[in-house]
Amino acid sequence: MSSLADKISIIINRELNKEQNINQYRKPLVGFASAHDPLFAKMKELIGPHILHPTELLPQAKTVVAFFLPYSKYIVQANRNSTGVAKEWAKAYVKTNKLIETICLELTEELRQQHVIATFQKATHNFNKQDLTAPWSHRSAAYVAGLGTFGLNRMLITPSVCAGRFGSIIISAEIEPTPPPKEEYCLYFKSRKCRFCINNCPVGALTENSLDKQKCYVHLLATAKKFPKLGFCDVCGKCTVGPCALMG
């Protein structure tokens, strides 16, 4: 790992440790992708033309840095065991989105001091509320950066966990890409023995072949009304608290 990659990882760990408490997070993951990886161009075909290429966000882009802040087992189990969305999960969602913004701002400033230009998209709520499309996907960026494989739940599953939040930042410096995973992390795609995410979806939005985003979003908006003191908290997470959330 280059000295710049080391520095980026140190900053991410430092900012997470500032927010750490006994049951909040597990060890973060950091990965790197070339901004010119063919997968970024292919996303316009796979996801849609609305997805921006890294160079459309930063013309000088050379590397996309992706990171994952995994929730603790306590947070996962709280949401798994709750009949509705656990307050612990809702609080973690709001807090982690803010933490991702803090990390990206700190990275931008500290990299600027090394004459590296950086830009980023906010952690969430950067999508069109009509068709639910977003110009940038942190999960997809993390996939290209080798942090995991997509599961039946349409989430990115890392080697140890899928419950948490992804962030990413595009920079003008070149860092060696992280190699892709050598194995499949989704238990369903691996052995066809797990359907926890489908069975646990409270509104039936998730199937083996599709995700009804509108049905899911209506449920998220309804959930947000249950946590008015937390701010706008459109969260559920019931599809991300199965075996793939507690592997590590």
Strands 164-171 and 63-70: antiparallel
Q: Residues of the chain with pLDDT > 90: what percent?
A: 82
pLDDT digits (tens, 9 = 90+) for 118-166: 999 998 887 777 777 889 999 999 999 999 999 999 999 999 789 999 9
What gap in Å lies between CA 225 and CA 191, rounded to an integer? Answer: 38
The first and second tokens of residue 245, run together, are 């959330």
Residue 1 predicted with pLDDT over 60: no
Produce one character per residue of 13-34: b if its CB has 16 or more CB atoms within 10 Å, e if not.
Answer: bebbeeeeeeebbbebbbbbbb
Residue 227 predicted with pLDDT over 80: yes
Mean pLDDT of 208-226: 93
Q: What is the pLDDT of residue 226?
A: 92
Residue 71 is given by DSSP the state B
**CATH code that applies to domain 3-181:** 3.40.109
pLDDT digits (tens, 9 = 90+) for 23-76: 689 999 999 999 999 999 999 998 999 999 999 999 999 999 999 999 999 999
What's the pLDDT band for 248 if we cut at 50, 70, 90? low
Residue 245 predicted with pLDDT over 80: yes
Residue listed under structure tokens 């959330």:
245
> Which amino acid appears at position 212 of this protein?
D
Residue 115 is given by DSSP the state T
What's the pLDDT band for 82 if we cut at 50, 70, 90? very high
Q: What is the pLDDT of residue 193?
A: 85
The domain segmentation of the chain, as residue ranges, is 3-181
Chain Cα centroid distance, residue 234: 15
- Lowest-confidence range among 49-63, 81-95, 115-129, 206-220? 115-129
Tell me if 201 sits within 8 A of 238, measured CB to CB.
yes
Region class of 154: left (phi > 0), else alpha (psi between -120 and 50), else beta: left
pLDDT digits (tens, 9 = 90+) for 170-185: 999 999 999 999 999 9
What gap in Å lies between CA 189 and CA 193, rounded to an integer? Answer: 8
Helical ranges in the chain per DSSP H: 3-19, 38-46, 54-57, 73-81, 87-112, 138-144, 187-191, 196-200, 213-224
Q: What is the pLDDT of residue 152?
A: 96
What gap in Å lies between CA 165 and CA 16, rounded to an integer? Answer: 12
Region class of 48: left (phi > 0), else alpha (psi between -120 and 50), else beta: left
Report the chain's mean pLDDT, rounded to a whole number: 93
Half-sphere exposure of 26 (CA within 13 A, CB side): 21
Spatial CA neighbour of 200 closest among 243, 156, 242? 242
- Lowest-confidence range among 1-5, 111-115, 208-212? 1-5
